[in-house]
Structure 1
Amino acid sequence: MLEFYKTFDDGTRRIDAPEKGCWINAIAPTEEERNFLIEHIGVLPEFVKSSLDDEESSHIDYDDDFDQTLVIIDYPDSDESDVNKNEDYTTLQYKTNPMGIVILKGYVVTISLYESWSLQDMAQGRIRQMDTRLKTRFLLLLVLRISQQYLVYLRQIDRLSSRTESKLHQSMENKELIQMLGLEKSLVFFSTSLKADEITLNKIMRGKMIKLYEEDEDLLEDVMIEIHQAIEMCNIYSNILSGTMDAFASVISNNLNIVMKVLTVITIVMAIPNIIFSFYGMNVDGLPAPHVLFPTAIAVIACLVAILIFKKKDMFH
């Protein structure tokens, strides 16, 4: 899908065909649309390929010959493909996807495999000071929105982990543990992508590959602050979640030990009558009182004595 937007004096609106100074938004472009970007807009083929690579990490690349800059930024998204929907519960997980921003003469092009509500906000004019003709500002505003999107998802992860932890206090079931594991995995994805985004922004700050203007310095500082805040929040939540998982693992192991201890005590007590009746079941003469009442009484007394001993040693808890 290709969409074209341009900022006019009365605001940003969608246009039917690309014009100088417009923003081209390509989401999961078809082969024909890719060829249009390469042949008519002039985007380098390797830049298009990198932007559509699901495993591409955040980086910045510049081509001197064609005067084009590619910025790959990882943005967060809910991982719908890994949502396990059963009759009783739903497990939610988050992931990160790469987005390519190509800055070339006359255009700024965003290329991604999936839709992002950061791009939707840009297209719907929800971002103040956005101007498709100011390519550096457009890039910084988009990265700022992505960093804010990280913060939103991190708060969602924190709330979801708190609710799941409360459920774990009541009953330790696999569904809560799987949800916590999914959130821990999501934080690892976020942490890795945020650190890569930070490195890319540090390269942008040097101003060698992308021209920086004085009026955009404050905006760049805001972007760096948001990214650093997201990294700090991600590290804090990751440490908390990791500690919580370790604590619950210890609790589960302790509960299992208690159950095994109780079952062992019951097994020992139940083995006493077996031993006594085994003697009387053998074809041997000379056993005292070879009648059913005597070995039964001995077995009952021996079991009660064993139970009292184990009770005194607090082996039933």
Structure 2
Amino acid sequence: MRAFYKNNNGLIVVPEWFPNCWINIECPTEAEKKYLLEELQIPEAFYDYIEDIDERPRVELENGWSLIIMRIPVTSDDVRLPFHTIPLGVVFKGDVCVTLSFSETEMLTDFVTYTQKKSIDIKDNFDLVLRLLLSSSIWYLKYLKQVNQIIRLAEDNLEMSIRNKELQALLQIGKSLVFFMTSLKGNDILLHKIKNIKDKRDYFDFDLLEDVEIELRQAQETTSIYSDILTGTMDAYASVISNNMNDIMKRLTSISIILMIPTLIASLYGMNVPNDFQNNPYGLWIIISVSILLSAFGVYLFKLKRWF
């Protein structure tokens, strides 16, 4: 999907490219790839870097082109990994500025809407990069709130659970938090590299830089807190599940022992050998009564010892 935006107190969609507009491409088709590489003449290496799902945040320069890669959060339909991160590349040279990603994201659509609501004027390409970094940090925090809700729901399900399903759900959330933490650290390093670009350092909006730093730090700290909480929760509830299983096994064992009492008596008097009750008309009832009394005594003893 390809879209063109012009800066007019907020980003406004325009039908075609013109100098200094922003080109946003998501999930590029072959035609869009050809447009990038042949018409705009973006270095093919830049395209390949962004296509690599594991690419780390960094800055690259080649033939006058600049590439800035950051990692942004996205949701997934895969229940095994509900949240993960993808590389978002910003490629620019002269009057050409392109953002490229290989997954659809909520962040970029929200970013455009936000600039329109707040009438934000984007000064240059580096200003766009900083605002995208700020927006990505805010979306990390949004997704972290959803992660917190999932953890709480899993905690409710785990209280009486003896299954591994809930722990596996928490394990997947833990993987998402690892992706978040790694990507946020990479974005933080990227921000410091951008700040240290000599020929641009004096032109940055320092208020915007401070906002980006604050949001990045908050996202990192929140991710770290949730990761610690999740680790403690998984350890605690692994023990809870083990204890629940032990309690059930104890109850089943107690029931088996109680049932063994009448079974043992019936087995002894059911042997094909002479015994004192073989000719007694009340022998059967005497045996049943004794079995019940001994079983009741066994239940009482188990209750007294808190084994049942």
TM range (shorter): 0.7 to 0.9
Q: Tell me the alpha carbon deviations over residues 60-80 of structure 1, each in whole angstroms, 9 at most, x when there is no partner.
A: 2222xx12221211111221x
* Paired residues for 1:292-303 under 5 Å: 292-303=284-295
Indicate yes or no: 2:225 matched with 1:236.
yes
Partner of 1:271: 260
When normalised by structure 1's length, the TM-score is 0.85
Identical pairs, percent: 38
Alignment root-mean-square deviation, CA: 2.6
Deviates more, 1:150-159 or 1:117-126: 117-126
1: CA distance, partners of 2:156 / 2:265:
50
CA contact (8 A) 2:10 2:119 kept: no
Stretches (4+) displaced over 6 A: 170-175
Are the structure 2 counterparts of residues 128 and 117 from structure 1 closer, same or farther at C-alpha, using a change threshold of 3 Å? farther
Residue identity opposite 2:68 in structure 1: V
The secondary structure found in structure 1 opposite 2:201 is coil
Indicate yes or no: 2:42 matched with 1:31.
no
The secondary structure found in structure 1 opposite 2:205 is helix
1: CA distance, partners of 2:251 / 2:57:
54
CA contact (8 A) 2:162 2:244 kept: no
Q: CA deviation at 1:172?
A: 7.3
Give the unaligned 5+ runs of structure 1: 85-91
Partner of 1:44: 43
1: CA distance, partners of 2:164 / 2:177:
20
Give the unaligned 5+ runs of structure 2: none
State how many pairs are aligned.
302
Q: CA deviation at 1:188?
A: 2.1
2: CA distance, partners of 1:261 / 1:11:
67
| Correspondent of 1:309 among 283, 301, 308 | 301
CA contact (8 A) 2:57 2:70 kept: yes
Q: CA deviation at 1:171?
A: 6.9
Partner of 1:199: 189
| Correspondent of 2:66 among 40, 47, 69 | 69
Indicate yes or no: 2:121 matched with 1:130.
yes
CA contact (8 A) 2:20 2:96 kept: yes
Indicate yes or no: 2:103 matched with 1:106.
no
Are the structure 2 counterparts of residues 167 and 284 from structure 1 closer, same or farther at C-alpha, using a change threshold of 3 Å? closer
Indicate yes or no: 2:184 matched with 1:185.
no
1: CA distance, partners of 2:120 / 2:15:
23
Q: CA deviation at 1:109?
A: 0.9
Indicate yes or no: 2:220 matched with 1:223.
no
Partner of 2:2: 2
CA contact (8 A) 1:95 1:186 kept: yes
Are the structure 2 counterparts of residues 170 and 258 from structure 1 closer, same or farther at C-alpha, using a change threshold of 3 Å? closer
